[in-house]
Structure 1
């Protein structure tokens, strides 16, 4: 036990691990917060679509020699706003617009990669995550973006909740639903970009969705569910980073596997609780 504790303390004293943990916790918090509203709106796949648009944006950046995260933000935000406008002005179903967004981003990225001569090391790091390689400048950028997103979500929490439950009623009550939807889409897009370094483009939706559906299994109120989701996301990120470093395996995949294990454990516990309750009812009868 003492050997494990000493190993953990030694790992935590490493500068790049400290940067990874700080940025990982910040990303985990905003992903669970944004994902909470996406799951309530039944837009769980929206994060996946945004991540594929981010792939296209990153490919644009690598192709034009511009910092890829900036081009990814621009492409993702514009695409997300366009998709929201399409959904509001036409009768195209939400899942169909998500499919269009997803395939468009992936196609754009593949075409640019083929033109530039194939996959590079930089592109692979964006696809699969490289949180242990986060630079000090990226730490400040990610923390700043995370703080801004959380501040807006906390300020407009009740309005976003109202829209998530009944968008039509929110319009009748006088809320500027269209503007709030556009704002939320921008926040979700930036959240996806900020998360790329942690779990990579291919696994971002897992960090957005799994903590929330796991928290919802506990059947608590909405505020408690949001808190539980954040706790699950943060603990999974911390455990995933430490395990991946100690075992020398991929960080993004390790974090998602920890999330999945927590989800499965919650399912088993929920089923055991239901079985116990039914046994108690039968005994009383």
Structure 2
């Protein structure tokens, strides 16, 4: 039985590849900004868009995109001006998004079961119109994350320094939030709204176990993202298991494997650094012995 004999699997695999590319491409900036859970919050807000799509009898993907973008902009505004009550406002936004999704779906005559494929992903429900929407939205994400990588990286690393250099920090922050929102809606048919945040963050964290530069981290994270989305989609087809949870578990497995691989490499690097200190080699002494998840530098 050839998996590509089925049209729905062709669509699912194409969507999986696109999601595997763009989720880490956006996630690398969120990790640098210490906003790893932003995708999870946007996913909650996107549920209202899905419910509105059912109620208005329009595409849930496009409606979720519109609502998610609005929610992401509100999240950035709260981050700027919220101060002490910002966490309360964000909590209301997230849980209000979930409640709105359930309410609008119910008003449309459906049940919470209609939301399941959007919450946790589903292979058989990826339609041709979904693939078209995913392709267009993924193209937008790639244009932003690659075309503005230097500016986005600068803002993610140090907003104050970026502002001094003349970069439009607020505009770039808003663009990052909007791009994250678009990524969440692109991924919801494959991974699901409640699990997409893991695919945005964990491949980046896994890549950082081995890499030192931004470019290398970006490339390895995307490679991991594509590998786990394809692997999870194929496994889901043959084993009849949920695609979203399978993809996330594979992603976590990749992180554990790379961490185990990186540990002895870090120890050897530390020993080499210690030996260089003893020998007084300035070139070797310049090599950092360890690196944390936030230390990716260079573009």
TM-score bin, normalised by smaller chain:
0.7 to 0.9
Q: CA deviation at 1:164?
A: 0.4
Structure 2 counterpart of 1:178: 170
TM-score (norm 2): 0.84
TM-aligned CA distance change 1:96 to 1:229, over 3 Å: farther
Relative to 1, partners in 2 of residues 1:97 and 1:140: Cα closer, same or farther, differing over 3 Å? Answer: same
Partner of 1:82: 74
Paired residue secondary structure (1:133): coil
Contact 2:44 2:193 in 1 (8 A): yes
1:256 matched residue in structure 2: 248
Secondary structure of 2:189's counterpart equals helix
Whether contact under 8 Å (1:45, 1:98) holds in the other structure is no
Q: Does the C-alpha gap of structure 1 residues 167 and 139 become closer, same or farther in structure 2, counting only changes over 3 Å?
A: same
More helix by share: 1
1:227 is matched with 219
Q: Please provide the CA RMSD for this pair.
A: 2.5
1:216 aligned residue (208, 213, 216): 208
Contact 2:102 2:112 in 1 (8 A): no
TM-score by length of 1: 0.88
1:7-48: per-residue Cα shift (whole Å, max 9, x none)? 5xx113432222111111111111110001001100000000
Contact 1:16 1:134 in 2 (8 A): yes
In structure 2, stretches of 5+ residues that fail to align are 279-299
How many residues were matched structurally? 277
Aligned partners of 2:26 and 2:265: how far apart in 1?
29
Are the equivalent residues in 2 in contact too, given 1:128–1:200 (CA < 8 A)? yes
Q: Is the 8 A contact 2:123 2:243 kept in 1?
A: yes
Residue matched to 2:296: none
State the 4+ residue runs in structure 1 displaced beyond 6 angstroms. 278-285
TM-aligned CA distance change 1:281 to 1:41, over 3 Å? closer
String of CA shifts for 1:145-203, please: whole Å, max 9, x gaps: 11121012211111001100110111111111111211221111111111100111111
Structure 1 residues 26-105: aligned runs within 5 Å: 26-92=18-84, 98-105=90-97
- Match among 259, 267, 287 for residue 267 of structure 1: 259
Further displaced range: 230-239 or 145-154? 145-154
Where do 1:107-118 residues align within 5 Å? 107-113=99-105
In the alignment, structure 1 segments of 5+ residues that lack a partner are 1-6
1:128 aligns with 2:156: no
Q: Distance in 1 between matches of 2:18 and 2:187?
A: 9
What is the deviation of 1:279? 7.7
